[in-house]
Protein backbone atom coordinates (compact mmCIF):
# COMPACT_ATOMS: atom_id res chain seq x y z
CA UNK A 1 0.00 0.00 0.00
CA UNK A 2 2.97 2.24 -0.38
CA UNK A 3 2.75 3.54 -3.92
CA UNK A 4 0.94 6.82 -4.25
CA UNK A 5 -2.42 6.96 -6.04
CA UNK A 6 -2.06 8.85 -9.30
CA UNK A 7 -3.83 12.15 -10.08
CA UNK A 8 -6.81 10.59 -11.92
CA UNK A 9 -7.42 8.25 -8.98
CA UNK A 10 -7.27 11.11 -6.50
CA UNK A 11 -9.71 13.15 -8.59
CA UNK A 12 -12.08 10.20 -8.93
CA UNK A 13 -11.88 9.75 -5.14
CA UNK A 14 -12.50 13.45 -4.51
CA UNK A 15 -15.59 13.48 -6.74
CA UNK A 16 -16.83 10.11 -5.46
CA UNK A 17 -16.48 8.28 -8.73
CA UNK A 18 -14.02 5.66 -7.54
CA UNK A 19 -14.79 1.97 -7.17
CA UNK A 20 -15.39 0.70 -3.62
CA UNK A 21 -12.17 -1.35 -3.46
CA UNK A 22 -10.03 1.54 -4.61
CA UNK A 23 -11.74 3.90 -2.16
CA UNK A 24 -10.54 1.76 0.75
CA UNK A 25 -7.05 1.66 -0.71
CA UNK A 26 -6.93 5.47 -1.15
CA UNK A 27 -8.31 6.07 2.35
CA UNK A 28 -5.68 3.78 3.83
CA UNK A 29 -2.98 5.59 1.88
CA UNK A 30 -4.26 9.00 3.03
CA UNK A 31 -4.16 7.90 6.65
CA UNK A 32 -0.55 6.95 6.25
CA UNK A 33 0.37 10.09 4.30
CA UNK A 34 -1.10 13.23 5.86
CA UNK A 35 0.65 15.50 3.33
CA UNK A 36 -1.34 13.94 0.45
CA UNK A 37 -4.49 14.15 2.56
CA UNK A 38 -3.84 17.86 3.15
CA UNK A 39 -3.31 18.42 -0.56
CA UNK A 40 -6.58 16.69 -1.36
CA UNK A 41 -8.41 18.71 1.29
CA UNK A 42 -7.02 21.90 -0.18
CA UNK A 43 -8.33 20.90 -3.62
CA UNK A 44 -11.69 20.04 -2.07
CA UNK A 45 -11.77 23.54 -0.53
CA UNK A 46 -11.13 25.07 -3.93
CA UNK A 47 -13.98 22.98 -5.29
CA UNK A 48 -16.36 24.31 -2.62
CA UNK A 49 -15.09 27.83 -3.02
CA UNK A 50 -15.66 27.82 -6.77
CA UNK A 51 -19.08 26.29 -6.23
CA UNK A 52 -19.94 29.24 -4.00
CA UNK A 53 -19.71 31.57 -6.95
CA UNK A 54 -21.92 29.37 -9.11
CA UNK A 55 -25.26 31.13 -8.69
CA UNK A 56 -25.79 33.31 -11.68
CA UNK A 57 -28.80 35.07 -13.10
CA UNK A 58 -29.69 33.84 -16.55
CA UNK A 59 -31.08 36.41 -18.96
CA UNK A 60 -34.38 35.56 -20.62
CA UNK A 61 -34.63 34.09 -24.10
CA UNK A 62 -34.58 36.64 -26.89
CA UNK A 63 -37.69 35.25 -28.49
CA UNK A 64 -40.99 37.08 -28.89
CA UNK A 65 -43.77 35.89 -26.59
CA UNK A 66 -46.78 34.41 -28.28
CA UNK A 67 -50.16 35.72 -27.20
CA UNK A 68 -53.48 34.21 -28.28
CA UNK A 69 -55.28 36.43 -30.81
CA UNK A 70 -57.82 38.71 -29.13
CA UNK A 71 -61.23 39.26 -30.73
CA UNK A 72 -61.50 42.77 -32.09
CA UNK A 73 -64.61 44.98 -32.37
CA UNK A 74 -64.21 44.75 -36.17
CA UNK A 75 -64.56 41.02 -36.05
CA UNK A 76 -67.75 41.22 -33.93
CA UNK A 77 -69.31 43.75 -36.28
CA UNK A 78 -68.59 41.69 -39.36
CA UNK A 79 -69.90 38.63 -37.53
CA UNK A 80 -73.21 40.35 -36.87
CA UNK A 81 -73.49 41.61 -40.45
CA UNK A 82 -72.67 38.16 -41.75
CA UNK A 83 -75.32 36.62 -39.50
CA UNK A 84 -77.98 39.00 -40.77
CA UNK A 85 -77.02 38.33 -44.38
CA UNK A 86 -77.09 34.57 -43.76
CA UNK A 87 -80.56 34.82 -42.19
CA UNK A 88 -81.90 36.81 -45.11
CA UNK A 89 -80.41 34.34 -47.61
CA UNK A 90 -81.93 31.47 -45.66
CA UNK A 91 -85.31 33.17 -45.69
CA UNK A 92 -85.17 33.73 -49.45
CA UNK A 93 -84.12 30.12 -50.02
CA UNK A 94 -86.98 28.91 -47.80
CA UNK A 95 -89.54 31.02 -49.65
CA UNK A 96 -88.31 29.75 -53.02
CA UNK A 97 -88.25 26.15 -51.73
CA UNK A 98 -91.85 26.17 -50.40
CA UNK A 99 -92.96 28.12 -53.49
CA UNK A 100 -94.88 30.81 -51.66
CA UNK A 101 -96.80 32.92 -54.12
CA UNK A 102 -98.82 36.03 -53.39
CA UNK A 103 -100.93 37.38 -56.27
CA UNK A 104 -103.47 40.12 -56.51
CA UNK A 105 -105.32 39.96 -59.78
CA UNK A 106 -108.78 41.17 -60.75
CA UNK A 107 -109.40 42.35 -57.24
CA UNK A 108 -108.53 38.88 -56.00
CA UNK A 109 -105.68 38.08 -53.63
CA UNK A 110 -104.20 34.63 -54.03
CA UNK A 111 -101.74 33.15 -51.55
CA UNK A 112 -100.51 29.66 -52.26
CA UNK A 113 -97.73 27.20 -51.53
CA UNK A 114 -96.29 24.88 -54.15
CA UNK A 115 -96.94 25.08 -57.89
CA UNK A 116 -98.82 27.93 -59.49
CA UNK A 117 -102.60 27.41 -59.54
CA UNK A 118 -102.55 28.21 -63.22
CA UNK A 119 -100.12 25.31 -63.86
CA UNK A 120 -101.65 22.93 -61.36
CA UNK A 121 -105.32 23.35 -62.29
CA UNK A 122 -106.50 23.23 -65.92
CA UNK A 123 -107.88 26.53 -67.13
CA UNK A 124 -111.34 25.09 -67.71
CA UNK A 125 -111.35 23.50 -64.26
CA UNK A 126 -110.05 26.65 -62.61
CA UNK A 127 -111.70 27.28 -59.27
CA UNK A 128 -113.87 30.26 -59.03
CA UNK A 129 -112.00 33.29 -57.81
CA UNK A 130 -112.04 33.82 -54.12
CA UNK A 131 -114.32 36.53 -53.31
CA UNK A 132 -112.78 39.67 -52.11
CA UNK A 133 -113.45 40.29 -48.50
CA UNK A 134 -112.45 43.39 -46.59
CA UNK A 135 -111.11 41.24 -43.76
CA UNK A 136 -108.49 39.53 -45.97
CA UNK A 137 -107.58 42.84 -47.50
CA UNK A 138 -107.07 44.29 -44.07
CA UNK A 139 -104.96 41.36 -42.89
CA UNK A 140 -102.76 41.54 -45.99
CA UNK A 141 -102.43 45.26 -45.59
CA UNK A 142 -101.31 44.74 -42.00
CA UNK A 143 -98.86 42.07 -43.06
CA UNK A 144 -97.38 44.34 -45.71
CA UNK A 145 -97.06 47.14 -43.22
CA UNK A 146 -95.43 44.84 -40.70
CA UNK A 147 -92.97 43.68 -43.35
CA UNK A 148 -92.23 47.27 -44.30
CA UNK A 149 -91.65 48.14 -40.65
CA UNK A 150 -89.40 45.16 -40.24
CA UNK A 151 -87.43 46.07 -43.37
CA UNK A 152 -87.07 49.69 -42.31
CA UNK A 153 -85.94 48.48 -38.87
CA UNK A 154 -83.33 46.23 -40.45
CA UNK A 155 -82.24 49.08 -42.73
CA UNK A 156 -81.93 51.37 -39.75
CA UNK A 157 -79.90 48.75 -37.91
CA UNK A 158 -77.64 48.34 -40.93
CA UNK A 159 -77.11 52.08 -41.11
CA UNK A 160 -76.21 52.12 -37.42
CA UNK A 161 -73.77 49.29 -37.96
CA UNK A 162 -72.23 51.12 -40.90
CA UNK A 163 -71.77 54.24 -38.76
CA UNK A 164 -70.25 52.22 -35.95
CA UNK A 165 -67.94 50.53 -38.42
CA UNK A 166 -66.79 53.84 -39.83
CA UNK A 167 -66.19 55.18 -36.33
CA UNK A 168 -64.23 52.07 -35.48
CA UNK A 169 -62.12 52.39 -38.62
CA UNK A 170 -61.44 56.01 -37.81
CA UNK A 171 -60.49 55.11 -34.25
CA UNK A 172 -58.19 52.36 -35.49
CA UNK A 173 -56.55 54.75 -37.88
CA UNK A 174 -55.91 57.16 -35.00
CA UNK A 175 -54.56 54.35 -32.89
CA UNK A 176 -52.30 53.26 -35.74
CA UNK A 177 -50.96 56.80 -36.05
CA UNK A 178 -50.38 56.93 -32.31
CA UNK A 179 -48.56 53.59 -32.40
CA UNK A 180 -46.39 54.76 -35.29
CA UNK A 181 -45.52 57.88 -33.35
CA UNK A 182 -44.70 55.85 -30.24
CA UNK A 183 -42.55 53.45 -32.26
CA UNK A 184 -40.69 56.39 -33.80
CA UNK A 185 -40.12 57.91 -30.36
CA UNK A 186 -38.98 54.58 -28.99
CA UNK A 187 -36.56 54.15 -31.90
CA UNK A 188 -35.14 57.62 -31.33
CA UNK A 189 -34.78 56.96 -27.60
CA UNK A 190 -33.08 53.62 -28.25
CA UNK A 191 -30.64 55.23 -30.70
CA UNK A 192 -29.87 57.94 -28.18
CA UNK A 193 -29.30 55.41 -25.39
CA UNK A 194 -27.11 53.23 -27.59
CA UNK A 195 -24.95 56.19 -28.61
CA UNK A 196 -24.77 57.25 -24.96
CA UNK A 197 -23.72 53.77 -23.88
CA UNK A 198 -21.10 53.65 -26.62
CA UNK A 199 -19.68 57.03 -25.65
CA UNK A 200 -19.76 56.06 -21.97
CA UNK A 201 -17.99 52.78 -22.72
CA UNK A 202 -15.45 54.65 -24.83
CA UNK A 203 -14.85 57.10 -21.98
CA UNK A 204 -14.47 54.27 -19.49
CA UNK A 205 -12.09 52.45 -21.80
CA UNK A 206 -10.04 55.61 -22.24
CA UNK A 207 -9.99 56.11 -18.48
CA UNK A 208 -8.99 52.51 -17.93
CA UNK A 209 -6.19 52.78 -20.51
CA UNK A 210 -4.98 55.98 -18.89
CA UNK A 211 -4.97 54.31 -15.51
CA UNK A 212 -3.05 51.38 -16.91
CA UNK A 213 -0.52 53.64 -18.55
CA UNK A 214 -0.15 55.66 -15.38
CA UNK A 215 0.30 52.52 -13.29
CA UNK A 216 2.84 51.23 -15.78
CA UNK A 217 4.78 54.52 -15.84
CA UNK A 218 4.79 54.62 -12.03
CA UNK A 219 5.99 51.08 -11.93
CA UNK A 220 8.75 51.92 -14.46
CA UNK A 221 9.79 54.98 -12.47
CA UNK A 222 9.95 52.98 -9.23
CA UNK A 223 11.92 50.28 -10.98
CA UNK A 224 14.33 52.90 -12.35
CA UNK A 225 14.87 54.36 -8.88
CA UNK A 226 15.49 50.89 -7.48
CA UNK A 227 17.95 50.13 -10.30
CA UNK A 228 19.81 53.39 -9.72
CA UNK A 229 20.03 52.69 -6.00
CA UNK A 230 21.36 49.24 -6.72
CA UNK A 231 23.99 50.62 -9.14
CA UNK A 232 25.02 53.25 -6.61
CA UNK A 233 25.37 50.66 -3.87
CA UNK A 234 27.41 48.41 -6.15
CA UNK A 235 29.71 51.29 -7.15
CA UNK A 236 30.19 52.20 -3.51
CA UNK A 237 31.07 48.62 -2.69
CA UNK A 238 33.55 48.49 -5.55
CA UNK A 239 35.11 51.75 -4.40
CA UNK A 240 35.43 50.50 -0.84
CA UNK A 241 36.88 47.22 -1.99
CA UNK A 242 39.38 49.05 -4.22
CA UNK A 243 40.49 51.24 -1.36
CA UNK A 244 40.88 48.25 0.92
CA UNK A 245 42.88 46.40 -1.72
CA UNK A 246 45.03 49.50 -2.30
CA UNK A 247 45.77 49.77 1.42
CA UNK A 248 46.60 46.07 1.64
CA UNK A 249 48.89 46.34 -1.40
CA UNK A 250 50.65 49.37 0.04
CA UNK A 251 51.10 47.53 3.32
CA UNK A 252 52.50 44.44 1.58
CA UNK A 253 54.83 46.54 -0.60
CA UNK A 254 56.08 48.40 2.47
CA UNK A 255 56.70 45.13 4.28
CA UNK A 256 58.51 43.68 1.29
CA UNK A 257 60.63 46.82 0.97
CA UNK A 258 61.48 46.68 4.69
CA UNK A 259 62.42 43.02 4.49
CA UNK A 260 64.51 43.64 1.38
CA UNK A 261 66.33 46.51 3.04
CA UNK A 262 67.01 44.48 6.16
CA UNK A 263 68.52 41.65 4.09
CA UNK A 264 70.72 44.09 2.20
CA UNK A 265 71.86 45.63 5.42
CA UNK A 266 72.70 42.27 6.86
CA UNK A 267 74.79 41.42 3.81
CA UNK B 1 -33.22 23.77 -18.85
CA UNK B 2 -30.72 23.34 -21.69
CA UNK B 3 -30.73 27.05 -22.41
CA UNK B 4 -29.74 27.78 -18.81
CA UNK B 5 -27.05 25.12 -18.73
CA UNK B 6 -25.45 26.14 -22.01
CA UNK B 7 -25.58 29.84 -21.10
CA UNK B 8 -23.91 29.21 -17.72
CA UNK B 9 -21.26 27.02 -19.32
CA UNK B 10 -20.46 29.70 -21.91
CA UNK B 11 -20.51 32.45 -19.28
CA UNK B 12 -18.09 30.61 -17.00
CA UNK B 13 -15.81 29.88 -19.94
CA UNK B 14 -15.82 33.33 -21.57
CA UNK B 15 -16.54 35.47 -18.48
CA UNK B 16 -18.67 37.87 -20.47
CA UNK B 17 -22.47 37.94 -20.35
CA UNK B 18 -23.12 39.32 -23.84
CA UNK B 19 -20.71 36.93 -25.53
CA UNK B 20 -22.16 34.04 -23.53
CA UNK B 21 -25.65 34.97 -24.68
CA UNK B 22 -24.44 35.18 -28.27
CA UNK B 23 -22.76 31.78 -27.98
CA UNK B 24 -25.92 30.26 -26.48
CA UNK B 25 -28.02 31.49 -29.38
CA UNK B 26 -25.46 30.22 -31.90
CA UNK B 27 -25.42 26.82 -30.17
CA UNK B 28 -29.18 26.43 -30.36
CA UNK B 29 -29.39 27.60 -33.95
CA UNK B 30 -26.63 25.15 -34.90
CA UNK B 31 -28.33 22.39 -32.90
CA UNK B 32 -31.63 23.06 -34.63
CA UNK B 33 -29.98 22.94 -38.06
CA UNK B 34 -27.95 19.80 -37.35
CA UNK B 35 -30.51 17.92 -35.28
CA UNK B 36 -31.30 15.59 -38.17
CA UNK B 37 -27.68 14.37 -38.11
CA UNK B 38 -27.93 13.27 -34.47
CA UNK B 39 -27.87 9.48 -34.55
CA UNK B 40 -29.08 8.62 -31.05
CA UNK B 41 -31.18 10.74 -28.67
CA UNK B 42 -29.10 9.40 -25.75
CA UNK B 43 -26.14 11.34 -27.07
CA UNK B 44 -27.99 14.64 -27.19
CA UNK B 45 -26.39 16.04 -24.03
CA UNK B 46 -22.83 15.31 -25.13
CA UNK B 47 -23.61 16.49 -28.65
CA UNK B 48 -25.04 19.82 -27.44
CA UNK B 49 -22.11 20.44 -25.08
CA UNK B 50 -19.71 19.59 -27.91
CA UNK B 51 -21.28 22.33 -30.04
CA UNK B 52 -21.04 24.74 -27.09
CA UNK B 53 -17.39 23.84 -26.48
CA UNK B 54 -16.58 24.47 -30.15
CA UNK B 55 -18.21 27.90 -30.11
CA UNK B 56 -16.45 28.73 -26.82
CA UNK B 57 -13.10 27.75 -28.32
CA UNK B 58 -13.84 29.94 -31.34
CA UNK B 59 -14.68 32.90 -29.11
CA UNK B 60 -11.67 32.16 -26.95
CA UNK B 61 -9.38 32.34 -29.97
CA UNK B 62 -10.93 35.66 -31.03
CA UNK B 63 -10.51 37.02 -27.53
CA UNK B 64 -6.91 35.85 -27.36
CA UNK B 65 -6.05 37.67 -30.58
CA UNK B 66 -7.40 40.91 -29.17
CA UNK B 67 -5.95 40.54 -25.72
CA UNK B 68 -3.34 42.88 -24.41
CA UNK B 69 -0.78 40.46 -23.03
CA UNK B 70 0.43 42.72 -20.27
CA UNK B 71 -3.06 42.91 -18.89
CA UNK B 72 -2.78 39.49 -17.28
CA UNK B 73 0.30 40.59 -15.39
CA UNK B 74 -1.50 43.67 -14.20
CA UNK B 75 -4.49 41.60 -13.12
CA UNK B 76 -2.16 39.52 -10.97
CA UNK B 77 -1.05 42.69 -9.21
CA UNK B 78 -4.62 43.62 -8.32
CA UNK B 79 -5.33 43.84 -4.61
CA UNK B 80 -7.23 41.02 -2.92
CA UNK B 81 -10.77 41.35 -1.63
CA UNK B 82 -11.23 43.83 1.19
CA UNK B 83 -11.22 42.22 4.62
CA UNK B 84 -13.21 43.00 7.73
CA UNK B 85 -16.84 43.81 8.19
CA UNK B 86 -18.72 45.34 5.31
CA UNK B 87 -22.41 46.22 5.53
CA UNK B 88 -22.85 45.74 1.80
CA UNK B 89 -22.82 41.97 1.85
CA UNK B 90 -24.42 41.73 -1.52
CA UNK B 91 -21.76 43.81 -3.12
CA UNK B 92 -19.12 41.65 -1.50
CA UNK B 93 -20.77 38.52 -2.82
CA UNK B 94 -20.75 39.98 -6.30
CA UNK B 95 -17.12 40.96 -5.93
CA UNK B 96 -16.31 37.43 -4.82
CA UNK B 97 -18.12 36.01 -7.82
CA UNK B 98 -16.23 38.35 -10.12
CA UNK B 99 -12.92 37.36 -8.54
CA UNK B 100 -13.70 33.66 -8.86
CA UNK B 101 -14.72 34.13 -12.46
CA UNK B 102 -11.55 36.08 -13.14
CA UNK B 103 -9.49 33.34 -11.55
CA UNK B 104 -11.26 30.79 -13.70
CA UNK B 105 -10.56 32.79 -16.84
CA UNK B 106 -6.85 32.83 -15.99
CA UNK B 107 -6.28 29.07 -16.11
CA UNK B 108 -5.66 27.33 -19.48
CA UNK B 109 -8.75 26.74 -21.61
CA UNK B 110 -8.50 22.93 -21.65
CA UNK B 111 -8.39 22.84 -17.85
CA UNK B 112 -11.09 25.50 -17.56
CA UNK B 113 -13.64 23.58 -19.62
CA UNK B 114 -13.16 20.45 -17.49
CA UNK B 115 -13.40 22.46 -14.26
CA UNK B 116 -16.66 24.10 -15.42
CA UNK B 117 -18.17 20.82 -16.56
CA UNK B 118 -17.25 19.05 -13.31
CA UNK B 119 -17.82 21.74 -10.68
CA UNK B 120 -20.70 23.73 -12.14
CA UNK B 121 -22.36 21.29 -14.53
CA UNK B 122 -21.68 18.29 -12.26
CA UNK B 123 -21.07 15.96 -15.17
CA UNK B 124 -19.47 12.56 -14.71
CA UNK B 125 -15.91 12.10 -15.89
CA UNK B 126 -17.20 9.69 -18.49
CA UNK B 127 -19.54 12.33 -19.88
CA UNK B 128 -16.80 14.97 -19.92
CA UNK B 129 -14.48 12.58 -21.73
CA UNK B 130 -17.22 11.89 -24.29
CA UNK B 131 -17.92 15.57 -24.89
CA UNK B 132 -14.27 16.56 -25.26
CA UNK B 133 -13.26 13.37 -27.09
CA UNK B 134 -10.50 12.61 -24.58
CA UNK B 135 -9.86 9.73 -22.19
CA UNK B 136 -11.32 9.74 -18.69
CA UNK B 137 -7.85 9.85 -17.17
CA UNK B 138 -6.98 12.93 -19.24
CA UNK B 139 -10.13 14.64 -18.02
CA UNK B 140 -9.23 13.80 -14.40
CA UNK B 141 -5.65 15.02 -14.84
CA UNK B 142 -6.86 18.28 -16.38
CA UNK B 143 -9.17 18.79 -13.44
CA UNK B 144 -6.32 18.09 -11.02
CA UNK B 145 -4.06 20.65 -12.66
CA UNK B 146 -6.93 23.11 -13.07
CA UNK B 147 -7.76 22.97 -9.34
CA UNK B 148 -4.09 23.41 -8.47
CA UNK B 149 -3.83 26.43 -10.79
CA UNK B 150 -6.95 27.94 -9.21
CA UNK B 151 -5.55 27.34 -5.74
CA UNK B 152 -2.36 29.14 -6.66
CA UNK B 153 -4.23 32.18 -7.99
CA UNK B 154 -6.69 32.35 -5.09
CA UNK B 155 -3.86 31.97 -2.56
CA UNK B 156 -2.16 34.96 -4.19
CA UNK B 157 -5.33 36.97 -3.75
CA UNK B 158 -5.79 35.68 -0.19
CA UNK B 159 -9.14 34.12 -1.00
CA UNK B 160 -9.79 30.96 0.99
CA UNK B 161 -12.84 29.16 2.30
CA UNK B 162 -12.02 30.36 5.82
CA UNK B 163 -11.80 34.04 4.91
CA UNK B 164 -14.96 33.85 2.79
CA UNK B 165 -17.05 32.15 5.45
CA UNK B 166 -15.64 34.47 8.08
CA UNK B 167 -16.61 37.52 6.06
CA UNK B 168 -20.04 36.25 5.14
* CATH number of residue B40's parent domain: 1.10.1740
- CB–CB of B141/B30 below 8 Å? no
Band (A129; pLDDT cuts 50, 70, 90): low
Task: State the Cα–Cα distance between residues B146 and B115, nearest whole angstrom.
Answer: 7
Residues B54 and B114 both lie in one domain: no
Average pLDDT over chain A, rounded to an integer: 82
Residues B118 and B142 both lie in one domain: yes
User: Is A119 inside any structural domain?
Assistant: yes
User: Is B130 inside any structural domain?
Assistant: yes
Output A209 or B90, whichever has higher pLDDT: A209
Of the segments A117-121, A189-193, A242-246, which one has the largest average pLDDT value? A242-246
SS3 A110: strand
pLDDT higher than 90, residue A250: yes
User: Is B88 inside any structural domain?
Assistant: yes
Residue A252 C-alpha, separation from nearest chain B C-alpha, in angstroms: 55
User: Is B46 inside any structural domain?
Assistant: yes
Task: State the Cα–Cα distance between residues A25 and B36, nearest whole angstrom.
Answer: 47
Expressed as residue numbers, the domain containing A100 is: 94-123
**B97: chain A residues, CB-CB within 8 Å:** 53, 55-56
Task: Compare all CA atoms of chain A with the CA of B10 and give the residue at the minimum distance.
Answer: A58
* Per-residue pLDDT at A112: 67
> How many C-beta neighbours within 10 Å does residue B50 have?
16
Question: In this predicted structure, which of A22-36, B16-30, B82-96, B103-117 has the lowest mean pLDDT?
Answer: B82-96
Span A65-72, average pLDDT: 46
User: Is A38 inside any structural domain?
Assistant: yes
User: Is A105 inside any structural domain?
Assistant: yes
pLDDT higher than 70, residue B68: no
- Span A204-242, pLDDT tens digits: 889 999 999 999 999 999 999 999 999 999 999 999 999
Interface contacts A/B by beta carbons within 8 Å: 78
Residues B61 and B86 both lie in one domain: no
**B145: chain A residues, CB-CB within 8 Å:** 7
pLDDT higher than 70, residue A66: no
User: Is A103 inside any structural domain?
Assistant: yes
Residue B104 C-alpha, separation from nearest chain A C-alpha, in angstroms: 9
- Cα A39 from chain centre: 45
Output B134 or B80, whichever has higher pLDDT: B134
* Per-residue pLDDT at A72: 52
Band (A105; pLDDT cuts 50, 70, 90): low
Residues B62 and B84 both lie in one domain: no
Residues B48 and B88 both lie in one domain: no
**Is the CB of A50 less than 8 angstroms away from the CB of B104?**
yes
Element (H, E) at A102: strand A101-105
**Is the CB of B140 less than 8 angstroms away from the CB of A58?**
no
> How many C-beta neighbours within 10 Å does residue A103 have?
13
* Per-residue pLDDT at A64: 43
* Per-residue pLDDT at A222: 92
* Per-residue pLDDT at A245: 94
Output A142 or B78, whichever has higher pLDDT: A142
The CATH number for B140's domain is 1.10.10.10
Residue of A6, A17, A49 to mutate, interface with B, max B Cβ within 10 Å: A49
Question: In this predicted structure, which of A63-67, A256-260, B11-15, B146-150 has the lowest mean pLDDT?
Answer: A63-67
* Per-residue pLDDT at A242: 93
User: Is B25 inside any structural domain?
Assistant: yes
* Per-residue pLDDT at B91: 77
Give one DSSP letter per residue of A235-262, joined into a string.
Answer: HHHHHHHHHHHHHHHHHHHHHHHHHHHH
Of A12, A45, A59, the CB nearest to B161: A45
CA distances from A174 to A11, A69, A71, A182 (A): 69, 21, 19, 12
Residues B99 and B136 both lie in one domain: yes
Say yes or no: A210 contacts chain B, CB-CB below 8 A.
no
User: Is A100 inside any structural domain?
Assistant: yes
* Per-residue pLDDT at A13: 93
Element (H, E) at A81: helix A73-98
Total number of domains in chain B: 2
User: Is A175 inside any structural domain?
Assistant: no
**A53: chain B residues, CB-CB within 8 Å:** 96-97, 100-101
- Residue after which a domain boundary falls, among A85, A106, A123: A123
Residue of A4, A5, A8 to mutate, interface with B, max B Cβ within 10 Å: A8
- Residue after which a domain boundary falls, among B15, B35, B67: B67
* Per-residue pLDDT at A65: 43
Question: In this predicted structure, which of A118-132, B55-69, B88-102 has the lowest mean pLDDT?
Answer: A118-132
Say yes or no: A63 contacts chain B, CB-CB below 8 A.
no
Task: Compare all CA atoms of chain A with the CA of B71 and give the residue at the minimum distance.
Answer: A212
**Is the CB of A47 less than 8 angstroms away from the CB of B124?**
no
Band (B93; pLDDT cuts 50, 70, 90): confident
Percentage of chain B exceeding pLDDT 90: 31
**Is the CB of A56 less than 8 angstroms away from the CB of B164?**
no
pLDDT higher than 50, residue B9: yes
Say yes or no: A78 contacts chain B, CB-CB below 8 A.
no
Band (A78; pLDDT cuts 50, 70, 90): confident
**Is the CB of B21 less than 8 angstroms away from the CB of A59?**
yes
> How many C-beta neighbours within 10 Å does residue B115 have?
23
- Residue after which a domain boundary falls, among B67, B96, B117: B67
Residues B134 and B164 both lie in one domain: yes
* Per-residue pLDDT at A114: 61
User: Is B164 inside any structural domain?
Assistant: yes
* Per-residue pLDDT at A214: 92
pLDDT higher than 80, residue B5: yes
- CB–CB of B82/B74 below 8 Å? no
Task: Compare all CA atoms of chain A with the CA of B148 and give the residue at the minimum distance.
Answer: A43
- Residue after which a domain boundary falls, among B67, B88, B108: B67
Of A8, A50, A59, the CB nearest to B100: A50
Expressed as residue numbers, the domain containing B14 is: 1-67
* Per-residue pLDDT at A82: 83
Output A176 or B89, whichever has higher pLDDT: A176
Residue A196 C-alpha, separation from nearest chain B C-alpha, in angstroms: 18
Task: Compare all CA atoms of chain B with the CA of A48 and give the residue at the minimum distance.
Answer: B161
**A12: chain B residues, CB-CB within 8 Å:** 125, 140
User: Is B72 inside any structural domain?
Assistant: no
- CB–CB of A107/A132 below 8 Å? yes
* Per-residue pLDDT at B40: 81
Residues B144 and B62 both lie in one domain: no
CA dihedral angle for residue B54, residue B58, residue B60, residue B65, rounded to 10 degrees: 160
> How many C-beta neighbours within 10 Å does residue B140 have?
25
pLDDT higher than 90, residue A104: no
* Per-residue pLDDT at A8: 92
User: Is B73 inside any structural domain?
Assistant: no
* Per-residue pLDDT at A131: 55
* Per-residue pLDDT at B147: 94
Task: State the Cα–Cα distance between residues B92 and B96, nearest whole angstrom.
Answer: 6
Residues B107 and B168 both lie in one domain: yes
Total number of domains in chain A: 2
* Per-residue pLDDT at A69: 45
Task: State the Cα–Cα distance between residues B136 and A177, nearest whole angstrom.
Answer: 64
Task: State the Cα–Cα distance between residues B114 and B129, nearest whole angstrom.
Answer: 9
Span A82-107, average pLDDT: 77
Question: In this predicted structure, which of A137-146, A218-227, B122-131 has the lowest mean pLDDT?
Answer: A137-146
Strand partners of residue A112: A101
Amino acid sequence: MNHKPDQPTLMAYLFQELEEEKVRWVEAYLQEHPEVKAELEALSEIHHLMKKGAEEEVPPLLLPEVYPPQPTPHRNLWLRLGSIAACLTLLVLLISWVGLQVQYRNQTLTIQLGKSTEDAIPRNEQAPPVEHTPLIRQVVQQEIEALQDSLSGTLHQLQQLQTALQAQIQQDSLRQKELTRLARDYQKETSRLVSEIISQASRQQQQYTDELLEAFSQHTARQRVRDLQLIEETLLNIQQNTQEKQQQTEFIVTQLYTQFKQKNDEK
Amino acid sequence: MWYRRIYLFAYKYIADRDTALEITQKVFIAAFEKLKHLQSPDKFKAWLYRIAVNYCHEEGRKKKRNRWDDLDKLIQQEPPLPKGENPEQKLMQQELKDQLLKALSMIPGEQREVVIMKIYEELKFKEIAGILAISENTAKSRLYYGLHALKKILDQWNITVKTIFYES
